[in-house]
Structure 1
Amino acid sequence: MRLEAITWERLADRLADRILALEPAGGSPWPRVGLDGAPAAGPGDLATRIAEALRVRGRPSLVVGTEGFLRPASLRLEHGRRDEESYYSGWFDTGALWREVLGPLDAGGDGRVLPDLWDPVTDRATRSSYVRLPPGGVLLLHGPLLLQHWFPLDLTVHVLLSSGALSRRTPDTDHWTLPAFARYETETDPAATADVVVRADDPRHPAWNG
């Protein structure tokens, strides 16, 4: 894969321009963009940058993180707090993401998106209000292990870290998640699956294949 050096600001601008040119699948008026990457890779930071670049271009957007859609602790931590299999396949409430975030943006949907559902600190529903995304508004959904779920996304971006960079930048307390990301690389191959790949081993100097 050939990668081109770029700054984060230019990357956000380039991706915003690409998003503006999207024709959402199925006749939906809402482009849905997925930014995939381990927490250490910062896909949420990139989503925020893109949202700002879209705002400057007059296009509304909504940033939604999958960390706001964790399953309750009784389910998520059923096999312990450091169970790789649970993190890989049962940590996030994908059904709620389909129902509350992606489904309302289907053709014929009402555009009412729930920005988050569950607070992991209190282990209770957040009771957040729905946000109505106007036609043409862009969903920027970010989180880890995103591309294994076959979500209906019009553009996918994978923020890639080498195994060494991932290990270095992941807090020691979260190193138990690293085998899940190794498995994800093998089973999903996000760098080959995503429409755009951003390499962020050096957070000061990203590169991309755009």
Structure 2
Amino acid sequence: MMKSFSYLVTLAMLGSAFPLLAFAFDPSLRQDFCVAINDSSSAGPKLTSATADDFFLSGINIPRSTSNPLGSNVTRITVDQIPSLNTLGISIARIDFAPYGVNPPHTHPRATEVLVVLEGTLYVGFVTSNPDNRLFAKILNKGDVIVFPIGLIHFQINMGQTNAVALPHFNSQNPGFITIANAVFGSNPPINPDVLTKAFQLDMDVINYLQKQLWLNND
């Protein structure tokens, strides 16, 4: 009797967990595609008569400006740029790097990233979660590929004296992009400095200085 009861409890626990797993990523398709549009008269995206343009975007081959303090530029290609990506669970981007340009430590809360180097040499890496905080890092050259697991902090920097280009792929139509420095020191409204001085073990003057900086969104 006790064994049967334990078995039922186990099934109940698994049953309650599976819905959470099922909705952890983009929703599964219920039809061939679902092209979304922004319509001010509706509460959100809705089905529309699709055309070939809803599945198309040109110009990804054009270099983007890297004239900023980071020396890099991220061009996102998500459901906002290609409406047919809605519910398909995939998107891409283009990252342009000036010599020694950096895509600073950041995370994608809703997607794993597979990055392909098209031109140049990049030093890249990601850090695992607590308590290990282990760094996995590699130097990538043209044609190399690396995976950044979902939610983990990662970065890229151009190690060469020429421009570099990378093409990241995501398993989400909208992977999200959280730059660590922006989120911590550039939040709106600002995080209470007392929290940051304690968390980072820094003087209040240093925290105040960091919170006054112009933290760039790299896109």
TM-score normalised by length of structure 1: 0.27
Question: Relative contact order (alpha carbons < 8 A, sep ≥ 6): 1 or 2 greater?
Answer: 1
Larger Rg: 2
If each structure's strand is expressed as a fraction of its own residues, which one has the higher value? Answer: 2
Whichever structure has more helix as a proportion of its residues is 1
